[in-house]
Amino acid sequence: MGLFKRVIRSRAVQETLGLIVAGYLKFVHRTNRFVFEPADAYDRIGPQMPVIAAMWHGQHFMIHFAKRPQDRAASLVSRSADGEFNAIALRHLGIRAIRGSGARGRDIRKKGGVQAMRGMLKALHDGEMVVMTADIPKISRVCGVGIVTLAQMSGRPIVPVAVVTSRRIDFKSWDRASIGLPFGRGAIVLGEPVHVPREADAAALEDLRLAVERELDRIHERAYALVGSKDPGAKKPSSPALAGGSQA
């Protein structure tokens, strides 16, 4: 590892950067005029707390804007160096980090997936809302089975969440990450809760996984529309038939 990386990854630098990012996000939140949809979402979702808040990768920077001050929350954060920085920023935003990440096959144990699942189950049992990305790294906007498994094991509903701003930076990363800019308009859209029965079999879990995926796509499309934009990470239809079906 080079000198620059060692400096950037040092605890002191990461603490400072995390504090700066958290302060910046608070400033973005204060200086954007947000609309909340549906207006009565928390009247309906509040009694179901704690819930599993689902988001797409790349939309995680501003997800905490949707959290009510009284809601305790924990977020799944990877064990990577970037994850350490994110965990510090989240701490300054009042969100506890659970370290680990989604993965496939043999990578699950290496990336702390089993330990993370235990941590999330404990958080939900203790009354903390859990925030996690529904898609796993490098496979953007395809819901993984992890979030529906967590819902099945915990008995807590999944609530899809989208938070976007009219003024923002859209990165050309695999997840089409976005970060908001000050002095614009914003939209916070909550989707319909998805409940996963404990007795759900493999076929039912697949149907529910797809339901989460569709609802996340829907609310992101709606959130971007509310601020007068198109979703830069939206899926592209693979055929004219699919294109027609997706607009129904």
Tell me: the pLDDT tens digits for 6-26?
767 788 888 999 999 999 999
Q: Of residues 4 and 211, which shows the higher confidence score?
A: 211
pLDDT at 7: 67
Counting every residue, how long is the chain? 248
Q: Quick check: 193 pLDDT over 90?
A: yes
Q: Of residues 61 and 125, which shows the higher confidence score?
A: 125
Write out the two tokens for 36.
């909340």
Q: Which of 3-12, 66-75, 168-177 is predicted with the least confidence, judged by mean pLDDT? A: 3-12
Residue with tokens 């899809």: 160
Cα(172)–Cα(233) distance, integer angstroms: 10
Which pTM does this prediction carry?
A: 0.88
Q: What number is the average pLDDT over the span 35-42? A: 94
With a CB cutoff of 8 Å and minimum separation 6, the contacts of 93 are 22, 25, 26, 64
Hey, what CATH class is 3-234 in? alpha beta
Cα(6)–Cα(66) distance, integer angstroms: 35
Write out the two tokens for 138.
């490098």
pLDDT at 108: 46
Angle of helix 202-226 versus helix 145-154 axis, rounded to 10:
110
> Bridge-partner residues for 74, per DSSP?
96, 130
- Contact predicate 177/56, CB 8 Å: no
Q: Which 3 state secondary structure label does DSSP give 168?
A: strand
